[in-house]
Amino acid sequence: MPPEHEEIRTVLTRLRKDYPHPGALHLGDPYRTIVAVSLSARVRDEQVLKLLPAFFEAYPTPAALARADVQAIQAKISTIGMFRQKARNLKRLAQDVVGRFGGEIPRTMEALTSLAGVGRKTASVLLVACFDTPAIAVDTHVFRVANRLGWVKEKTPEKTEAALLKIVPSKLQPLVNPVLMKFGRYVCLPGRPRCWMCPVRDFCRFKDKNLKTPPDADDVKQDIARREAALEAMRRAVAKQP
């Protein structure tokens, strides 16, 4: 049986208290956000945020990026994985934005996913972060947590997204990715989750709960708080960059 709306609301509300900040790559400006999320595939958010200030100084607009040489783009993002492919996609994306959309990042799922390197996950982040449109971006963390909670029983992120869109009220959909992603990164870990510190374990259907509090519990919690504060500081710095 799928969860009731009230259960979903309670879980998201509790997790929001622990993770009040926006998604790490929610940068406000659509151009900056789509670049950041496009670069984040198989890369830690911290790595992406570190390179973005120099990237946006060199390419402050889609038009500037569209004119750039691919090798120059590669040099700006060479510290992350798949940088050659990502550089080619970013240039094509920028060319499409300039040529087909008048230099403005489009605002619909269909238009966004027509851009090079942009799938439904990236488009969903844009819709929520920049255009106030309900959507659910399902990454590996959201996929794992949603299935462990018992909200869905799916084998792939794509099917998980479709199932979540059916059961999560539209007003709550913008919360799903930011809070479940961080919760999955810090607490609901793959393999052996930290159920002993989980604020929603009374709603969780995961059978193999790890409820034994470790001796270093306080250190773990402090490290999570430190990491989250550092990530938010980096996000704000990029978002406020002239």
Catalytic amino acids?
121, 139
Q: Could you tell me which residues come within 8 angstroms of residue 115 by beta carbon, excluding any fewer than 6 positions away?
A: 34, 92, 93, 96, 97, 106
> What is the full DSSP assignment across 203-214?
G---SS---PPP
Check residue 92 and report its DSSP letter. H
> Are the CB atoms for 145 and 190 separated by under 8 Å?
no
Distances from the Cα of 60 to the Cαs of 89, 94, 191, in angstroms?
17, 11, 41
Maximum Cα interatomic distance, the chain, rounded to a whole number of Å: 58
Q: Could you tell me which residues come within 8 angstroms of residue 106 by beta carbon, excluding any fewer than 6 positions away?
A: 97, 112, 114, 115
Tell me the backbone φ, ψ of residue 152, rounded to 5 degrees: -140, 165
Distances from the Cα of 79 to the Cαs of 99, 123, 192, 196, 242, in angstroms?
29, 24, 30, 36, 23
Euclidean distance between CA atoms 218 and 181, whole angstroms = 22
Q: Which residue bears the tokens 């570190």? A: 50
